[in-house]
Copies of this chain bind each other. A is one copy, B any other.
Amino acid sequence: MQQTRTLTTQVRGHIGERIRIQGWLQSWRQLGGIHFLVIRDGWGQIQAVAESEEEIAPLINVEASVESLVAIEGQVESVAQAPGGVELHNLTIEVIAPIREVPPVALNKRKINAQISTLLDHAVVANRHPSRRAIFRLASAMMQAFRSTLTDRGFTEIQTPKLVASATESGANVFKVEYFGRTAYLAQSPQFYKQNMVGVFERVFEVGPVFRAEEHDTTRHLNEYVSLDAEFGFIENHFTVMALLRDILASILGAFQEQCASELDLLKASLPEVPEEIPYIHFQDAQELILKLHKVDVRGEPDLSPQDERWLGEWAQKEYGSAFLFVTGYPMKKRPFYTHPDPERPEFSNSFDLLFRGTELVTGGQRLHRYEDYIAALEQAQMSPEPFEHYLEAFRYGMPPHGGFAIGSERLLMQLLGAPNVRLTTTFPRDIHRLVP
């Protein structure tokens, strides 16, 4: 067999021809002397039908079972009842590598039938299941859409260090690393570096790991995750940032529809619409609204509770038909020191949270850009400027008004797909208990 390989997704274009496929023996059923084989390759699967003992002999001779690697030559026939409408006949089977043990997670069932802990313990194999793979294909499409939208708008991709000399925003929740006799830390975010790089390229983005030593053990927390970060200069205020974020979400969801139709179908995912303009409400107005609608007085609280967020989500759905809602102007005291205040009401900030179906999805806003403002903000927060010496140098020598946001990619995917646990949208998750596989 020297013929060129055809991918399973290309078979439909070869009806009547003899082709060669390669892949994993995903399933093998026998019905009255006929063997139905399903071969999975990196993109899809195809049925191959052996009607004689001679055809199937190469598999039987080596006692090959599912997940064996095979190459199969066969005639492509259009068969209405075959999955995908085509199947292979008159097979010549070659076993590339036989497998004789049963995988720890059954990959040949339509639905994956295992506890989440089993899925994660055996992720190396379980990730092959079409329903698991579909999620990771969406994750890849998400990153690609994020990058291409930003590249098209003049953003430059950067890669910033993950080993840092001091914690990004506070000393808590940071992993310590032994660094040649000193202590280094794992970056909790690329915040400082992406801001500094606005001084170089004006518009920058990064896709990379961030590390949070949080002791949370919930369905929403990972201790290492992939952050999609953007930051850009010469903005008007946080509304410029919100407009960009809206367009990025629209392009991610558009990419899912265009490039991942079969994955969405498999996952039975129904994706939200991103409105032309996502509605927004100021933090203070949100609290007034909650009092009016639910008779609960949260005015004066420095933050929104999960219940508050759910109520606001319901309201946005009812009032605007939107699954998305921006809450703007969070109180300064609950935001990090680099947050830009609202010039009109300095106790509130030029920042936002994006809620999706009543849960926080993305945080962002405008940052301070004047050196003197940083010094004053650090003093106010009773923080020493010394660990921030290098970061602050950018502002000392000229920075434009700027802002940005950070998206936790696994969590975004979890929420868009309605997955019950963020670990299910991560190939190899890291949590307080899990460092393997």
Contacts and interface: CB of A to CB of B under 8 A. Distances in A.
A250 B10 CA distance: 28
Nearest to A387: B436
Interface in A161-191: 161-165, 175-180, 182, 184, 186
A48 interface: no
A22 B211 contact: no
A396 B101 contact: yes
A156 interface: yes
Contacts of A428: 160-161, 193
A398 B24 contact: yes
A151 interface: yes
Interface residues of A, number: 91
**Which of A7, A99, A432 is packed against the most chain B CB atoms within 10 Å?**
A99
A243 interface: no
Interface stretch (A202-210, A266-274, A281-289, A357-365): A202-210
A42 interface: yes
Contact of A200 (B133, B207, B370): B133
A394 B430 CA distance: 19
Given A124-B393, A391-B437, A175 B177 contact: yes
Interface stretch (A135-143, A293-301, A324-332): A135-143
A31 interface: no
A132 B199 CA distance: 12
A435 B165 CA distance: 6
Nearest to A429: B161
A176 B180 CA distance: 10
A348 B397 CA distance: 57
Contacts of A397: 67, 99, 101, 103-104, 125
A336 B208 CA distance: 27
